[in-house]
Chain A
Amino acid sequence: QVQLMQSGAEVKKPGASVKVSCRASGYTFTDYYIHWVRQAPGQGLEWMGWINPNSGGTNFAQTFEGRVTLTRDSSISTAYMELPTLTFDDTAVYYCAREGLNSIDYWGQGTLVTVSS
């Protein structure tokens, strides 16, 4: 069965960076884009961007363009989201999710990133 397993919760200081991983299993990793979605505490879902695991090509929402880096290591079926220079506003749960029919069909369990001094 399709699974997306994300790395564990992180606590970071303002100005630090965070890198979240997302390991895929149960399907051919390079056949489906991976999306990243952010959810601030008590808030809704915000689409951040996607990566094409086959080519490494990426696309971002304007809010995150130039700030977020999406990469992948196809040899271990893992996608990564890196966010530098964290601020308190970056405190959120970050989800990876699989593209499915111009939609999102499977989600990871989420990674809570807390920015605290």
Chain B
Amino acid sequence: DVVMTQSPLSLPVTLGQPASISCRSSQSLIYSDGISYLSWFQQRPGQSPRRLIYKVSNRDSGVPDRFSGSGSGTDFTLKISRVEAEDVGVYYCMQGTHWPYTFGQGTKLEIK
């Protein structure tokens, strides 16, 4: 199975400051169609996960533009340009290129 490794696992951030989460895969996520199927999810406390980003850098409908995704191959990043209080939660990356789909361990974002 493809192992997804996130860092950091804990991310204290001051309101209004940027935040960045790294996700590395144990194999390339480039599928035969040339697309990397890497997604990012946010899970607020007590809620179901919500997808923020798919195919590395595509924001889902309703996701604020302060969230952005980038990367290629085995190295990916989720960036929040200015952290707001509602961004508190756990962020997961997930690969959908290889079976089975696998998630990163999660990064807990909290406000300093």
Taking beta carbons and an 8 Å cutoff, which residues of A are in contact with B? Answer: 35, 44-47, 49, 59-62, 95, 100-105, 107-110
Contacts and interface: CB of A to CB of B under 8 A. Distances in A.
B48 A95 contact: yes
A49 to B, nearest CB: 8
B31 A102 contact: yes
25 contacts: A35-B101, A44-B103, A45-B49, A45-B103, A45-B106, A46-B103, A49-B100, A61-B1, A95-B48, A100-B51, A100-B54, A101-B37, A101-B54, A101-B96, A102-B55, A102-B97, A103-B51, A103-B96, A104-B39, A104-B49, A104-B94, A105-B51, A105-B60, A107-B48, A110-B48
Nearest to A63: B100
A103 B97 CA distance: 9
Interface of B: 1, 31, 35, 37, 39, 41, 43, 48-51, 54-55, 60, 90, 92, 94, 96-97, 99-106
Q: Which of B48, B49, B51, B55 has the most CB of A within 10 A?
A: B48
Contacts of A46: 103
Contacts of A45: 41, 43, 49, 92, 94, 103, 106
A2 to B, nearest CB: 11
Contact of A107 (B1, B49, B100, B105): B49
A105 B60 CA distance: 9
B37 A102 contact: yes
Nearest to A101: B54
B92 A103 contact: no
Q: Which of B31, B55, B101, B105 has the most CB of A within 10 A?
A: B101
A47 B39 contact: no
Nearest to B105: A44
Contacts of A62: 1, 100
Given A62-B1, A103-B96, A104-B101, 9 more contacts: A44-B103, A47-B103, A62-B100, A101-B37, A104-B51, A104-B94, A104-B96, A109-B48, A110-B48
Contact of B37 (A44, A61, A103, A108): A103
Contacts of A105: 51, 54, 60
